[in-house]
Structure 1
Amino acid sequence: MGEKVATDGFGPADRQRYRRKLQQCLAGLARLLAEQRFDRPRNLMGVEIELNLAGPDGLPRMLNEAVLEKIASSDFQTELGMFNLEVNIAPRRLGGHVFDRLAEELRTGLGYADRKAAEVDAGVVMIGILPTLSQEDLVFENLSSADRYALLNDQILTARGEQITLDIQGVERLLHTSESIIAEAACTSVQLHLQVTPARFPAVWNAAQIVAGVQIALGANSPFVFGREVWRESRPPLFQQATDTRPPELQSQGVRPRTWFGERWVDSVYDLFEENVRYFPSLLPLCDEEDPLRVLDEGGVPQLKELVLHNGTVYRWNRPVYGWVDGVPHLRVENRVLPAGPTVTDVLANAAFYYGLVRSLADDPRPLWKRMPFEDAEANFDAACRYGIEAELRWPRPGRAGGTATRPAVRLVLDELLPLAAAGLDAWHVAPADRDFYLGVIEQRCRRRVNGASWQADAFHRALESGLDREAALAATTRRYRELMLTGEPVHTWPEGVAAGVGDGVGDGATAGLVAGLAEE
């Protein structure tokens, strides 16, 4: 949804024409696959990170346009909420010291963005959900001003026909109604892209689905929603409910939500695009003039804009992506599972673990998805969201004994998955120093049973015990989190509590010095 879109509304004829164009795009995709027109293997990866803006007091700042004007870089873009930014890293080849080079680029870019944000009394926070976001912040007026956001909001609410209800039961219960989809903006994520060939796509996507629960268990970083402590990774239930076009009656009938884990392993990338068209009505029926089948008949490559747009409004946690660069089409798996943060080191440790493990599982001559029910992968995702690093996951028993068993996520990672991730990074020809450093972060996170969510929850409760009320404790937790985030040290090394961050955060010279140091790296 990166394009600017504007319309005065859609009528029945618009939707019928769009449906016909989607069927033409599907036929065009099928021909491209049959004719083997896709880009050759390149081992390309890409990273996008969504960010929050907060002030020295730890509270959200609705200033993304002012900050972007200061940054003046096309690498940074708006996101749904006025308290959001997104940074995009150019694709690069997996291998060598790719993760260290990415770390240097991210530290420099985020440090620069943070310094520019400070000029308007704001700062960058990499976190799944900003703990200090309140229900009062989540109003239509705080949607970013781009036309596409208001249009998407209108179409989701029109399809639903009533207010959006958020109801998440965890440590505490969150119950909230909204007149807009802006609650979705609370969810900030890291998106990991991997370009693959059509033949390789099913194995990589199936492996990514299997890995999703493990990713969440290790990387959970969103325990608070609008001041309530709910799940350890609350983004998935919040995102699903905030974008839900189904009124309760359709939910009761089992109609699929637009934010969707899926329901089966796949044999072709075509399966996923076809499901998206078959199951989900259009939200933005904007038609392009291109006739994809005629373009193919004339020897060209269609951009399939309607299919790409529709695909962007079905929020799979592992999304198929059709891309088009310099007249050559390609396919990507977009992994949307992870929350942002806590630090650049943590983000890249999560990325290294994901790319390594997916490579090993996709290469396995006895594919795990042949031995693991899809329902177990979905249940693992749910358990990891609820319990984070303390989750227990169902996993096939090693060897040929068959069957599955429930195991603590940290033991599964330490005993079985870290060696697989290391072997996968070796297969990508990642430098041993990068492999060992970033997987070492994952290992220590497991041994200490600490991730962003567990640290936030512990800091919050310690702040409450020190005598702060709920709002002050959330603000203190946020300020301390940001202070430690700026050091760059991975979250498993962070000190407990918020004692050093209980002040009002105004005029914090130490934090300013850390930001300057980041920009100089």
Structure 2
Amino acid sequence: MGQEISSHSFTDADHQRFRERLLLNLEGLKALLDRPGFGEGTTTLGAELELYLVDPQARPLSLNREVIERSGHPQLALELNRFNLEYNLKPVPAAGQPFSRLEHEMQDAISLISHHLQSEQGCALPIGILPTLRRSDFGMQAMTDESRFYALSQALVEMRGRMFCVHIDGDPPISLRSNDVTLEGANSSLQVHMRVTPGAFANTFNALQLVTPVVLALASNSPFMLRHKLWHETRIPLFRQTIDGRSHEACDHALPSRVDFGSGWVREGAYELFAEMVHLHEPIIPVCAEEDISKLIEQGEVPALAELRMHSGTVWPWNRAVYDPKQGGHLRIELRALPAGPTVADMAANAALAIGLAEGLKDRVNDFIPALPFQVLENNFYLAAERGLNAELMWPGLEPPAPLRKLTVTEIAKELLPLADIGLSRLGVAEDERRHYLGVIARRLDSGMTGAIWQRREYQRLCRKMNESQALTRMTQRYMRYSAANQPVSEWSNRADKDS
């Protein structure tokens, strides 16, 4: 979805040709995956960081295109809503100090954007959902003026055949209706990419699925939406419900949503995930390329598979397979569940934990699969999103995988931390790097403080002195100061001080 298109109106013939091209793309991908040596190479890490643009009153600034025009920076990209921007980080080798490099580039990105908001006294803010949003901040007037976003909204509305309805439990619960997808634009995330060889893909992907609920709970940073205190990671239900294009009939037949945790453990490799995307989801943006895929394959070249990549960008599993024709062609796993914020240090630590655990568990994950039915794992994911660090998950234990038992996220995470260190070591991550970022996670566990918990506590504290609207604003302003100082959330205070 990062590619702009020339039109958002398509004919039945456009859709039919695109479907035919998708099948050719799948054949091409299968041939590539069968090619000896395809996708081999050094493990690299990258990320896409989504950020809010906010003013000193912690209100959104709808200036994403203006910031790009002012900066001219090639790594900035427009997001769905005008108050969000995306920064695409440069891939780095996993060996050495990858997370420090990602942290420093994220800090540079925030400084760059904030510099170009000086005239508005604004800044870029990493946060899952901005607590001060109002209903009037959404609607077609909030959408970035790009054909791809109009096409997305129009296609999902037509598929659905009715308004988008959002209901999320909370204090109080929230119920919303919308004729467009701009409510989805409330979500900001850090999407981490890990290059994986085809032979290691299935085990690495399954290992990442296994630990995603734990990492998500530790990273939770989205407890408010439109002044409602909801899930610890409200992005998860909000994204699913605001971009679900299924009709009533599709729901009745249990057809999958375009946003889900997956349909089961991966059995063989990446191909099955791409095939599911093609066969289970109708195309939204049927823009076709002209490349002769078969000819390129026969000549030993690497096709772009443009239709498959376009289609993949309109299906949003929380962990997603990515095909990239660059560097001789390769596969990546995209981790989509992690929120932006609270600080770049916290985000780098979340990435280190997830990547370390995926690498540390990939050779043993097949021992866990019989002990953990996929439906239980999926339930773990939604429990983690709802309750954050307070969640209790079903977990089989490590030595050896034991019968399922209910454990707190903290108990599971402390059991897993040594495995994350082993995994990072296997990738060649430097010892001081491992110690630093896993130490950030360990202190978060010891303090019991996540971004979501800090926001909830600070809001409750301020509500004793002022009304709810003022408390949300003051809480968000204090969050902005802590975040800008890049002080890990485990060190944040909920005590009154001169800044609050």
TM-based fold match above 0.5:
yes
Residue 115 of structure 2 is aligned to residue 115 of structure 1: yes
* Partner SS, residue 260 of structure 1: coil
Change beyond 3 A, Cα 1:178–1:500: farther
Match of 2:307 in 1: 306
**What's the CA shift string for 1:247-275, capped at 9, x where partnerless?**
34432331211101112111211110111
Contact preservation (8 Å) 1:452, 1:491: yes
Once residues 339 and 496 of structure 2 are traced to their aligned partners in structure 1, the CA distance between those partners, rounded to angstroms, is 22
- Provide the residue aligned with 2:416 in structure 1: 417
- Match in the other structure for 1:511: none
The amino acid across from 1:253 in the alignment is H
Equivalent pair of 2:117/2:123 in contact (CA under 8 Å): yes
Number of the residue aligned with 1:508: none
Per-residue CA deviation, residues 394-442 of structure 1 (Å, 9 max, x unaligned), is 111333473211100011111x100000111111121111111110111
State the SS of the aligned residue for 1:381.
helix
Deviation by residue 1:31-58 (Cα, 9 ceiling, x = unmatched) = 1111235232211110111000111011
1:132–1:475 CA contact under 8 A, matched in 2: yes
Long gaps (5+) in structure 1: 503-521
Distance 1:361 1:429 in 2: 16
Q: Which residue of 2 aligns with 1:6?
A: 6
1:399-478 superposed matches below 5 A: 399-400=399-400, 402-414=402-414, 416-466=415-465, 468-478=466-476
Q: What is the alpha-carbon distance in structure 1 between the residues aligned to residue 193 and residue 216 of structure 2?
A: 17
Paired residue type of 1:286: V
Instruction: Name the SS of the counterpart of 1:51 in structure 2.
Output: strand
Q: Which amino acid aligns with 1:139?
A: G
Determine the structure 1 residue equivalent to 2:479.
481
Once the two structures are TM-superposed, the CA of residue 6 in structure 1 deviates from its matched residue by 2.3
Aligned residues: 499
* One-letter code aligned to 1:425: L
Percent identical: 35
Work out whether residues 166 and 238 of structure 1, in 8 Å CA contact, stay in contact via their aligned partners in 2.
yes
| Cα shift at 1:86 | 0.9
Q: Single out whichever of 283-292 and 64-73 deviates more from structure 2.
A: 64-73
Question: Residues 480 and 498 of structure 1 are in contact (CA less than 8 Å); yes or no, is this contact kept in structure 2?
Answer: no
Question: Matches of 2:14 and 2:151 in 1, distance apart?
Answer: 15
Write the letter of the residue equivalent to 1:465.
R
Moved more, 121-130 or 37-46: 37-46
Give how far 1:8 is off. Answer: 5.3
For the Cα contact (< 8 Å) 2:321–2:334, is it kept in 1? yes
Structure 2 matches for 1:204-215, cutoff 5 A?
Answer: 204-215=204-215
| 2:293 aligned residue | 292
Secondary structure of 1:90's match?
Answer: coil
Determine the structure 2 residue equivalent to 1:168. Answer: 168
What aligned pairs does 1:49-64 form with structure 2 within 5 A after superposition?
Answer: 49-64=49-64
Partners of 1:80 and 1:151 lie apart in 2 by 11
**Cα distance, 1:12 vs structure 2:** 1.7
Partner of 1:245: 245
Contact 1:459 1:498 (C-alpha < 8 Å) held by counterparts? no
Give the letter aligned to residue 137 of structure 2: D
Structure 1 residue 197, shift from structure 2 partner: 1.0
What's 1:506 paired with?
A: none
- Identify which range, 367-376 or 178-187, moves more after superposition: 367-376
* CA distance, structure 1, for counterparts of residue 315 and residue 102 of structure 2: 29
- C-alpha displacement at 1:365, in angstroms? 7.3
Give the corresponding residue for 2:384.
Answer: 384
For 1:9 and 1:312, the matched residues in 2 are separated by 18
| CA shift for structure 1 position 497 | 5.0
- RMSD after superposition: 1.6
State the alpha-carbon separation in 1 of the partners of residues 338 and 401 from structure 2.
32
SS at match of 2:324: strand
1:186 equivalent in alignment to 2:186: yes
Q: Render the CA deviation track for 1:159-205: whole Å, top value 9, x for unaligned.
A: 11221111111232111111210111100000111111111110111
Deviates more, 1:143-152 or 1:110-119: 110-119
- d(CA) in 2 for partners of 1:245 and 1:94? 37
